[in-house]
Structure 1
């Protein structure tokens, strides 16, 4: 019948003369049920069910409880199973392996994830929110600062990309938009090259966004060579710290060639 409070209703506590926290033993006296005479059809159904239970109950049998998550009954509570039931499922995104993968750097992947959703607080977005800022690019004010321009098309950014792409088998033409960047990562001829491209792209996106914020907040301009040096140093440290993992053993040679 499910929960009695749902089967009989809130008035059932008063009708059955039991408290909300009562247990089965509170409704039994020896070999009889101590519940009051039924006054509704729901109570009649309950009493009819009680007639199928032999009293007194077997004291050698221990009561236990179950967690019911979806269609699964569990003797112990599992937060992972409960979470799978509660959360809303969506189809796997086609970019998931570019953002989240083994060996990723969390802060790099997070920035890449935000950028992939086009949710970076660029100047054009800030201006669209009503903030008193210019929507122009922080590096070159000739264009509006949107994600694709800031991360791909800006002259300053393209100089950084050229240095990075030379080490990852560059595309025939520079990326026109974000989808072309993701397609280039997936088009790698080997799993190791694909991993190198993922790491390199995420490191570039993280450092470019960091340099953009440094320029906006501190008015500190850093040369392309200095930005690339920071990217290269960061990437070398990432590969070196994971050199004993599968697919990472030869990445350093691929990057430094």
Structure 2
């Protein structure tokens, strides 16, 4: 029997047979194919991440940055002489993902200048070793591991920015200046976060020169 007093509404019946209030989000989420989550997802996208750094990290992990070694494969396009390309940071040859992050002589100075602050003092300047370390702690909520992801993301972002600045403008910063910018950026981000009150976190705050009012009592941590 029809209920003439009730207002009509649109309902979406899901693949599982559940009636849900209709919306484009509900429909799309129900009909789309959902792939398995990639193991590096929590390295790129995590609550404390800096969005522009996450986007660059996503391209880096997928090896989708337009580095010179990739451009050298486009020899059929135009009359450009790709053999003349060289890394704008060290001028030792064409740049690549592995070269820029962080095997380049200039980029390696950046990595060795920030790795201790990221809790990766023993990790060498190769993307494979850095990525493997991050993957081992991808889901960790420990302050050092979150800071490690922030430092790597900031380092990659500013090395790529410096590379482009030198290619397309006369702007140039030395390694010490870039290290300072990276650490300052991460420190500013840490100022927006709250930390559990532990002896480990106390050491982190001291190392990053952060105020103790960023600490939360255990009963407020949820």
The interval holding the TM-score normalised by the smaller chain is 0.7 to 0.9
Report matched runs for 1:49-198 at 5 Å.
60=4, 65-74=10-19, 76-129=21-74, 130=77, 132=80, 133=82, 134-172=84-122, 174-176=124-126, 178-187=127-136, 191-198=142-149
TM-score normalised by L of structure 2 = 0.77
What are the ranges of 5 or more consecutive residues in structure 2 without an aligned counterpart? 211-222
Q: Larger relative CO (CA 8 A, sep 6+): 1 or 2?
A: 2
Q: Distance in 2 between matches of 1:223 and 1:86?
A: 51
Q: Could you tell me how far 1:58 is from its partner in structure 2?
A: 5.9
Quickly say closer, same or farther: Cα 1:58–1:202, change in 2 above 3 A: closer
Q: Could you tell me how far 1:172 is from its partner in structure 2?
A: 3.3
**Aligned partner of residue 21 in structure 2, secondary structure:** coil
Q: Could you tell me how far 1:136 is from its partner in structure 2?
A: 2.2
1:99-146 CA-partner distances (Å, limit 9, x unpaired): 111111111111111111001111222332336254421212323211
Q: Greater CA radius of gyration, 1 or 2?
A: 1
Matched with 1:253 is: 206
Quickly say closer, same or farther: Cα 1:64–1:173, change in 2 above 3 A: closer
Matched with 1:23 is: none
Q: CA RMSD in A?
A: 2.9
Q: Could you tell me how far 1:256 is from its partner in structure 2?
A: 4.9
What are the ranges of 5 or more consecutive residues in structure 1 without an aligned counterpart? 1-56
Quickly say closer, same or farther: Cα 1:70–1:223, change in 2 above 3 A: same
Q: Distance in 2 between matches of 1:196 and 1:75?
A: 40
Quickly say closer, same or farther: Cα 1:70–1:142, change in 2 above 3 A: same
Quickly say closer, same or farther: Cα 1:75–1:94, change in 2 above 3 A: closer
Q: Could you tell me how far 1:83 is from its partner in structure 2?
A: 2.2
TM-score normalised by L of structure 1 = 0.67
Q: 4+ residue runs of structure 1 moved beyond 6 angstroms?
A: none
Q: Distance in 2 between matches of 1:70 and 1:87?
A: 11
